[in-house]
Amino acid sequence: MSGQALLLVVAVALVDADRRVLIAQRPEGKSMAGLWEFPGGKVEAGETPEAALIRELEEELGISTQTACLAPVSFASHSYENFHLLMPLYACRKWQGTPEPREHIALKWVRPQNLRDYPMPPADEPLIAALCDLL
């Protein structure tokens, strides 16, 4: 037992009609600034992962979706220096609004096979294979 705090974070692969996935670039001043990630965020106390994801999509991208539109794809379990991250990844193909970078530097729609061209946090990288299999 490492004694590290467990951090539950939820992420989403938004998939457009062309089967591209949305990734977001982390802003300056945050850990791993400049890296590309799947949008999402921390699950707050008393929140389900799906509720957290719906809230984060509204806060980060200005879009809305529903629990029924979120399909679990995979998860990441990764030890960082100060905590252990557990991150379920959902796929979402249906939402209202146009994603805009409210908390990120930039957004990009990327074909799954090209996701490895973008530097990502260590926890996000293993999720690429599951997305390639799905899409």
Q: State the average pLDDT over residues 45-66.
A: 97
pTM over 0.75? The answer is: yes
Domain positions in the chain are: 5-134
Question: Would you give the DSSP letter of residue 4?
Answer: P
Query: Which top CATH class is 5-134?
Result: alpha beta
Residue 1 has pLDDT above 90, yes or no: no
56-87 exposure pattern, b = at least 16 Cβ within 10 A, e = fewer:
bbeebbebebeeebbeebbbbebeeeeebbbb
Instruction: Give the tens place of pLDDT for each residue, 42-55.
Output: 999 999 999 999 99
CA–CA gap between residue 43 and residue 21 (Å, rounded)? 22
Instruction: Give the tens place of pLDDT for each residue, 99-128.
Output: 999 999 999 999 999 999 999 999 999 999
